[in-house]
Amino acid sequence: MSRRALTLLVAGFLALALAVIGAMLPVPYVVLSPGPTENTIGDVSGKPVIAISGHETYPTQGRLSLVTVAYQGGPDNRLDLLTALRGWLDPTVAVVPEETLFPKSTSAQQVEEQNTQEMTDSQQSATAAALNALKIPIEKVVTVAETDKGAPADGKLKPGDEITAVDGTTVGELASVATSVQSRKPGEQVTFTVRRAGASAQVQVGTVAGKDGKAKVGVQMRSGYRFPFKVDISVGEVGGPSAGLMFSLGIYDKLTPGALTGGMSIAGTGTIDPAGQVGPIGGIEQKMVGARKAGATVFLTPAGNCADAVKAVPAGLRLVRVETLDGAIKAVDALRDHAGEVPACPAG
């Protein structure tokens, strides 16, 4: 072999080796792809997604599917360059900077915990929205989220405690609890009446001065609701708030006579608040692909996502624009009964 040929061979081998090594190098990106769908009026792993006890329910049919986005990568399991390149070539997935899902100031575990809490909050809001739509009375409550380590409340108030009164005065809003505590002088005791494990108890907690000089006990609280009957929602490891709309529709369907869908396969997404307002979400492109693959022909789309949705809607999937739970119910009613036009995402 000539010297020139040997040089070219060695150079080619080195180039190939560098390319292989480069392809295996971790990169700070995340691949988003269509995730699983779950029928909110069906079962998952043999268990109803929505189980209602203490109130009459009605049989239903069809599908009201929540949709999800799966991801690869993250700070604890970084992608290699080759996987990222494959993702850039696949129109059904998105490759985004790692910080999109995992901000630098938070760990992967903190992100997972936040997603879990957002799912819990979403289920509460979805239940409240459905019951409000049905004019079923619900009651606002204040619950303990956590206590500050070493604060007077640490070890006395527990996560999940429902605060019903402060110093004998009934409370139902976060602001009223804070006002009652701050009305004391730092160093004084505050008596909390809490509902814990179904029983009422009184807990005395000391106060200290906060940065503003006002009394505080070191407790983080969140708003919640007490419902007149039990609504359990089970979807496994799905996290985040974007299934709120579909949970509300599933609850509404089970609490009303007849099948809301009329047997249609409907998917959708969107956050929801207790008043029934529907908000936009992320990953709309991947969620539509997942919905269509699961057989959906209608996709309930938050108005705030319409502009992105119309650019990537899969063939055979009809986009229905929704802004409220009431609007979504009316749209599904109209589709089922073939009763005129329904709001659509505008083209372009």
More confident residue, 21 or 345: 345
Q: Which residues pair with 163 in a beta bridge?
A: 142, 194
**Please, what sign has the CA dihedral across residues 86, 89, 91, 96?**
positive
pLDDT bracket for residue 92 (50, 70, 90): confident
Decide: 255 and 135 in contact? Cβ < 8 Å.
no
Percent of the chain clearing pLDDT 90 (strictly above): 66
Decide: 159 and 142 in contact? Cβ < 8 Å.
no
Is the predicted pLDDT of residue 329 greater than 50, yes or no?
yes
Q: What is the pLDDT, as a whole number, of residue 17?
A: 45
More confident residue, 114 or 163: 163
More confident residue, 132 or 112: 132
pLDDT bracket for residue 18 (50, 70, 90): very low
Structure tokens given for 230? 């039990």
> What are the tens digits of pLDDT across the range 220-247?
998 889 899 999 999 877 778 899 999 9
d(CA 340, CA 250): 23
The structural domains of the chain, ordered by start, are 32-69+115-136+230-337 (3.30.230.10), 139-226 (2.30.42.10)
CB neighbourhood size of 302 (10 A): 25
The candidate with the shortest Cα–Cα distance to 274, out of 180, 139, 151, is 139
H-helix segments, 213-324: 244-254, 284-293, 306-312
SS3 237: coil
**Please, what sign has the CA dihedral across residues 162, 166, 171, 174?**
negative
Specify which of 63-77, 86-100, 141-155 reaches the highest per-range mean pLDDT: 141-155
Q: What is the pLDDT, as a whole number, of residue 228?
A: 95
pLDDT bracket for residue 24 (50, 70, 90): low
Q: SS3 letters for 119-151?
A: HHHHHHHHHHHHHHHCCCCCEEEEEEEEECCCC
Structure tokens given for 270? 């969107």
Structure tokens given for 233? 């929602």
d(CA 234, CA 238): 9
Structure tokens given for 345? 């995402």
Question: Which residues, at least 6 apart from 329, have a Cβ–Cβ distance to it below 8 Å?
Answer: 133, 249, 252, 260
Measured in degrees and rounded to the nearest 5, phi and psi for residue 91 equal: -70, -15
d(CA 345, CA 348): 9
Is the predicted pLDDT of residue 118 greater than 70, yes or no?
yes
Crossing angle for the helix pair 108-133 and 244-254, to the nearest 10 degrees: 40
Catalytic residue, chosen from 156, 242, 248, 254, is 242
pLDDT bracket for residue 19 (50, 70, 90): very low
242 catalytically annotated = yes
What distance lies between CA 278 and its chain's CA centroid? 13
Decide: 201 and 222 in contact? Cβ < 8 Å.
no
Is the predicted pLDDT of residue 293 greater than 80, yes or no?
yes
- Maximum Cα interatomic distance, the chain, rounded to a whole number of Å: 97
Q: How does DSSP assign 6-73, residue by residue?
A: HHHHHHHHHHHHHHHHHHHSEESEEEEEEEEEEETTSEETTEESEEEESS------SEEEEEEEEEEE
Catalytic residue, chosen from 287, 293, 311, 330, is 287
287 catalytically annotated = yes
For the chain, how many residues are written?
A: 348
Percent of the chain clearing pLDDT 70 (strictly above): 92
Name the one residue in this structure whose structure tokens are 């809607």: 313
